[in-house]
Amino acid sequence: MATHTPRPVPPEALEELRVTDDAGRVARPLTDEEGGAPLRCCLRRSRPGERIALVSYAPLRRWAALTGADPGAYDEQGPVFVHALECEGPETEAVPFTGAHRTVRRYAADGRILGGRLVGAPAAEADFTAAFAEAFADPEVAAVHVRAVEYGCFLYEIRRTP
């Protein structure tokens, strides 16, 4: 079981994103014929034939709205795949989307970026666990975002637990 639990896009955000995304665009569901899209709602890859949508998501903006942080210029939005309809959420607490280059980006409680770390390919769960432990060893780190290096896409978040 993971010491730091990956958090998918929250259900309340998913409800909104499935209608209108964080860029103000109407969601356009499609049938994923091939499968393999990284789904941020359940932290697994899509299966052939599933209905998914590619939406714009602003994870730091949404986190800031809940916590009162001000991400300033660090506020960004980007593409994420989600199921077109409600799903069951993550099937496991294992670290998802391993095996490729990832960035573990650190954020302070006020929304500032505190740095990051590249987790190189082929990355195993233990590599991510070490990166998360390193990040949270800094008491200023409130949350980390794991992102794909190639496209910069947000994959999931891990928050400091009390």
pLDDT at 8: 96
Decide: helix, strand or coil at residue 131. helix
pLDDT at 46: 97
Query: Which tokens in the block code for residue 4?
Result: 């730091």
- Percent pLDDT > 90 in the chain is 78
Band of pLDDT at residue 1, cut at 50, 70 and 90:
very low
Domain ranges for the chain, please list them.
11-83, 102-159
Handedness of CA 101, 112, 89, 82 (dihedral sign): negative
| Chain centroid offset of residue 64 CA | 15
3-state secondary structure 2-47: CCCCCECCCHHHHHHHCCECCCCCECCCEEECCCCCEECCCCEECC
Classify 24 in phi/psi space as left (phi over 0), alpha (psi -120 to 50) or beta: left
Amino acid at position 42, single letter: C
The answer on pLDDT for 2 being more than 60 is no
The 10s digit of each residue's pLDDT in 116-158 is 999 988 889 999 999 999 999 999 999 999 999 988 889 999 9
